[in-house]
Structure 1
Amino acid sequence: MLSQLSQPAGMKLYKKHVPSEQAQSGVALLQSLFAIFTVLGPSIGTFVYQTFGIYMTLFIAFIMFVFSSFALMFIPADQNHHPQMASPSVMKDMLAGIRHIFSNKVLTLLSGCVAAVGCGVGLISPLSLFVVTEKLGLAAEKLQWLTIPYGAGEIIGGFITIAAATQLSPQLLLAIGLLVNGFGIWGVGHSTNLVLTMLLQFLIGLTQPCIFIGITTLTMQCTEEAWIGRVMGVRTLLMTGTMVVMMGLAGQWKTQVSLASIYSISASLFMIALILTIPIFTIAKREGRECC
C-alpha cells in the first residue's frame, strides 16, 4: 500500500527539479534503470538466497531500502507551499485530482489511455503460462523462453528511447508503443511457433518503454507542479485498479473463450488506447510540441 505513494511523490520531485526540456530523456533513463533491475533483480536475489539463505537475503533487501531512504536526504528541501490547495482528507485530495484531470482535455484522454492499457495488460498477465503449454505445446518450465526476450527487449528499448527522446514527441512515442504492443499481443495469442513468439515478446518489451515514457512525459507537461502528485496518484490508482480487476476476470474468461480470443481482446484495448491518442496530435499541432 505504501509503495503506491512513491510514484506520485517521485514525479512531483521530478517536475520540480528537472527542466522541462530534459524531462523526456530523464523519464527514459528512469524507465531503463527500472527495467534493468526488474530483470536482473530476481536473478541476483535467487543467487543470494541460494548462497546465504533467506535471513541474509531479507537483511540485504532491508539495507537497500535504508540506502534508498538515505539518498533522498540529498534532494533539496521543498520550499514552495500551496496552502490554498490543502485538503482535510485523502478523499478530497483524490476528488480534486479527478476534477483537475477532467478540466484538461489531454489529461482526460491520457486517463482513458491508461485505463485501456491497464485492462489490456491485466487481462493477459496471468495467462503467459497457457501460451507456453497450450499454444506452443511446451512444458510449464519453459516459461522463461517468453520472459527472457521480453526483459531483454525492455532494457534495450529503454536505452533506444533515451537516444530518441530528444527527436520524437511524447505523443508519437506513445502511439508507436501502443501500436506495436497491440499487434505483438495479438500475434502472441495466435502464434504456435516458439521463435515467432519469442520475437513478438522481444518487440513488445522493446516498445513498452515508449508507452510509459510517453504517458509520463505528457502528464508532466500538462500538469502544474502543485497538482502533479494528485494527478499521478489518480493515474497510478487507475492503472493498478484496472489491472487487478481484469486479472480477476481473466481466469473466469479463460474457461469460457479461447486463449487467442482473450489476447485479441487485449490487443483491441491497446488499439482503443491508440485511438484516444489521436486528438493529442491535433492539440500538439495547434499549440506546439508541448501540447499543454
Structure 2
Amino acid sequence: MNKLIRNRVFLIVATADLLQQIGIWIRNMALLFYIMDQTGNNPTAVSMLTALEYLPIFVFSLIGGTFADRWNPKKTVILGDALSALSMLLILGLVAGGVWQAVFAATVISAIVSQFSQPSSAVLFKRHIPAEEVGTAVGINQSLMALFTIFGPMLGTLVYTQLGIQSSIIALFVIFTLAAGLQLFLPSSGREQRTEKTSPLKDIKEGFSYVLGHANLKLIAVMFLISGLAMGVTQPLDVFVTMNRLGLPKESVQWFAAAEGAGMLAGGLLAAVLTAQITRYRRGVITVIMIIWAVITAIEVLSVWPVLTGSARVLSGIATAFFQVSFSAMMIQEIREEYIGRTNGIIIPLMMGGMLLGSASSGFIVAQLDLMGAYFIAAALTLGCVVFTARLKFS
C-alpha cells in the first residue's frame, strides 16, 4: 500500500477519476432536472437522456478501445478531458442562446470520450503499477466511485438547485480542465513503434481473434452477457418491489440504492486490503459472488421487511465491489497491453446489450408471470453463470 501511495501514476489517475466522478454526477443531476423543467416532466425526454448515455457505449466502445491500443495513453486521457471541457463551452453558448436541447449533447460527448479515455487509463495502470499492487489500486478506485454513488446525487442536486444550469455547465468546464491539466504530469512514456503499420479494421479483427483464442475471455464474455440479461430484468422492477412487496412509497427506492452504494464502498476498501487473497482464489471468489447475487435476487422479491431488503442490498454492493476489483485486476494483469482496449471494447458491450435486452423484456415477463417470477428467472440466469466461472483457469 505504501508503494502505491507513492506511485505518481496511481495518484494522478485516481485524482483525475475523482474529478471526473464529480463532473459525472453534476452532469447527471443537472441535466435530468433541467430537462424535466423544460419539458414539464416528460418521461420520453428523460428516457432519451438515458438512451443517449448508453448508446455510445455500443457504437464507440470497440472503436475507442481499438484506438486506445494504438495511441499514446497519456495524450489520449489529456485530449479526452480537454475536448470534454471545450464542448462544455460550446454547449454553454447554445444554452445561453436559448437552444436548451443542446444539453443532450453534453451526455453524448461525455459518453463517447469515456470510451477512448477509460481503456487508456487501464493501459497506464498496466504499464506503471506493479502487478501485485494492481488489485489494491483498483479497489481504491472502486471505493471512490462507490462513495459518489452515495453522495453524488446529493452533490449534483445541490449544484443545480443553488446555481442553475449555466453555472453547472461552467463547473463541468472547470472540472474537466483541471483533470486534463493534472494528467499533464503523467510520465511521458510513448508506445513502442510498431514494425508494421496496420489499419484500425485489422486491429479490430485481431482483437476478436485474441478474445476468441483466450479460453478465459470467451467464458467471461458469455458470463457477462447472461449476467447483464439478469440485471436488466430486475433493474426496472426495483421500484415495484419497494411499493408492492415492502409497502413503501416509490421515493424510498433511493435509500436501497444508497444501501448498495454503502456496500460497494465498504467492499472496495475491504477488497483493496485483501487483494492478494482475491488474486490467489480468483475463480472461487467470482463463483461465490455469482451464487451470492442469485440468492440476493431471490431474497429481494421474497422479503417483506425493509431491513432485510436493505441488508441484502448492502451485501450485493460488497459482492459487486469484490467482483469489479477481481475482474478489473484480471483484465490489467493477464491481458497483453496492446489488447486491453479492444478486449474491453468487445466484452463490456455484451453486458450492456444483455441489460438492455433484459430491461426491454422485464415488463413482458411480469405481465406473463408476475413480479416474483421475473426475479426468480433473473436469479436462475445469474446462478447459471456458475457453469462458466467454474471453468475459469488462472495461472
TM-score greater than 0.5 by the shorter chain = yes
> Which of the numbers 38, 52, 57 marks the counterpart of 2:168?
57
Structure 1 residues without counterparts, runs of 5 or longer:
285-290
Amino acid aligned to 2:270: I
Gap change, CA 1:28 and 1:241, over 3 Å in 2: same
Q: Which AA in structure 1 matches 2:309?
A: T
What is the aligned counterpart of 1:98 among 202, 208, 216?
208
Equivalent position to 1:26, from 98, 112, 137: 137
Give the Cα separation in 1 of the matches to 2:248 and 2:171: 36
Task: Give the distance between the partners of 1:82 and 1:259, measured in 2 at CA.
Answer: 56
Count of paired positions: 282
Measured in 1, the distance between the counterparts of 2:246 and 2:264 equals 23
Q: What's the CA shift for 1:237?
A: 1.8
Partner of 1:156: 266
Alignment of 1:1-292 (within 5 A): 1=56, 2=112, 3-81=114-192, 83=194, 87-89=198-200, 91-169=201-279, 170-280=282-392, 283-284=393-394, 291=395
Could you list the runs of 5+ residues in structure 2 that have no partner in the other structure?
1-55, 57-111
- CA distance in structure 2 between the aligned counterparts of 1:191 and 1:99, rounded to whole angstroms: 45
Per the alignment, residue 288 of structure 1 pairs with none
Which SS does the other structure have where 2:115 is aligned?
helix
The structure-2 alpha-carbon separation of the partners of 1:192 and 1:162, relative to structure 1 and needing over 3 Å to count, comes to: same
2 CA distance for matches of 1:255 and 1:173?
36
Q: Give the letter aligned to residue 219 of structure 1.
A: M
Q: Which has the higher contact order (CA 8 A, sep 6+)?
A: 1
The normalised TM-score by structure 1 is 0.89
Q: CA deviation at 1:76?
A: 2.0
- Structure 1's 146 and 77: CA in aligned 2 closer, same or farther, altered over 3 A? same
Matched AA of 2:188: A
Structure 1 counterpart SS, 2:321: helix
Give me the whole-angstrom Cα distance separating, in 2, the residues matched to 1:29 and 1:279: 29
- Quote how far apart the aligned CAs of 1:155 are: 0.8
- Report Cα offsets for 1:77-123 as digits up to 9, x if no partner: 3422353575423x543332121011111111122222222112222
Paired with 2:289 and 2:148, the residues of 1 have a C-alpha distance of: 21
Q: Aligned equivalents of 2:391 and 2:213: distance in 1?
A: 16
8 Å Cα contact 2:226/2:385 also seen in 1: yes
**TM, length-normalised to structure 2:** 0.67
2:49 maps to what in 1?
A: none
For the residues of structure 2 that align with 1:73 and 1:120, how far apart are their CA atoms? 41
**Is 18-27 or 141-150 further displaced after alignment?**
141-150
Q: 1:244 to 1:145 in 2, by over 3 A?
A: same
What is the CA-CA distance between 1:134 and the residue it aligns to? 1.4
Find the counterpart in structure 2 of residue 287 from structure 1: none
What is the identity, as a one-letter code, of the residue corresponding to 1:149? A
| Aligned AA (2:235) | S
Alpha-carbon RMSD: 1.9
Q: Distance in 1 between matches of 2:154 and 2:197?
A: 44
The structure whose Rg is larger is: 2
Percent of paired sites with the same residue = 27
Q: Give me the whole-angstrom Cα distance separating, in 2, the residues matched to 1:18 and 1:130.
A: 44
Query: Is the Cα–Cα contact under 8 Å of residues 268 and 325 in structure 2 kept in the other structure?
Result: no
Structure 1 residue 215 displacement after superposition = 1.6
Write the letter of the residue equivalent to 2:174. Answer: I
- What's the CA shift string for 1:182-204, capped at 9, x where partnerless? 21111102212211111111111
CA distance in 2, matches of 1:85, 1:106: 28
**Deviation per CA, 1:113-164, whole angstroms, max 9, x where unpaired?**
2222211222211111111111112221221231121111111111111111
Separation in 2 of the partners of 1:172 and 1:164? 14
